[in-house]
Structure 1
């Protein structure tokens, strides 16, 4: 493991960051400074901060990587290894959303991007609620697209009822229903699907969006090439 001297003492840490949190390119970060936050009231004990600089000409941004001790071994090894916890500042990466889905549901893309940003900032309790909201916008805008005469009713319906009544495609209905189940767990006190988490919600949301996109593209080419 690499070491860094701070105030005449060597601290061992697990690794240097291999991705810039600003430009998100793989890098060999340049170490340009360090600092020790030594406070017994901090969760996890001491924190080693290392200041890095992105070597890419297109970026050149500086960022701070924070390393904390493994609290399980802190009492036995007070100067033990430090492990990378996060890098800041962090610039969120907007998710890649097809133009057809952006046109179908602009709020879906907006909420999805904000949820992804929250997750990137390790706000996982907030991100789950956001992904659930993104699903609702996507499904209701999709339902309105398919059934414009029922727009008023669709907007007022609960998400589960909207999926059951207005999603005729079997794949859309199956994936959206399961995404809604996990999404509801992200907003409720008690979880029903304890073995599923945020990563499963994201996969099901991505699958739902993909099936909707496939249906829209199929309709488009069948309409244009009768």
Structure 2
């Protein structure tokens, strides 16, 4: 999943970015509210982690703008501002959860997982195709009852394909889903990831089909 962090403290941003990337997410980072608002208008994210005390545009204003656009993007606010009145104000503006600094990374990860799970459950809490089952927020997959061992990149690739059922996903869309702004995925790197994913899906009743000139489609194999 692709996440945006809007945080002006470099140490905090680096710490939570590394934690989320280790969990297999693509992570973008901005350090001011104006950049956050622009990024949110141009990129489809699965979660926003938002500091309130941002320069250029306060985090509360970023939050208000997101909700006024009608977006249901899950938003986790992280802030040094304490107090019940402040928490109520931010939740009323449309935040989904609120975490006061300093916080333990384990609790932060748990809040992120809970938000992603909650929003995935509004659609399908678990995706099933052939014998393949996927828990997208939990970053887990099985073939039948057997866990499917995937690298973070392979799972991200499967997740990007599964997020567009019955629709073709282009190479550009796959690359965007797998990479944050400060990462690069070569054509060769994408081809290698696709090859390895296809091998691991061989007995799942599911395949990644190439639609020549357009992209790729995750589909059930008839009679498998």
Above 0.5 in TM-score? no
The higher relative CO (CA closer than 8 Å, separation ≥ 6) is in: 2
TM-score (normalised: structure 2): 0.29
Higher strand share: 2
Higher helix share: 1
Which structure would you say has the larger Rg? 1
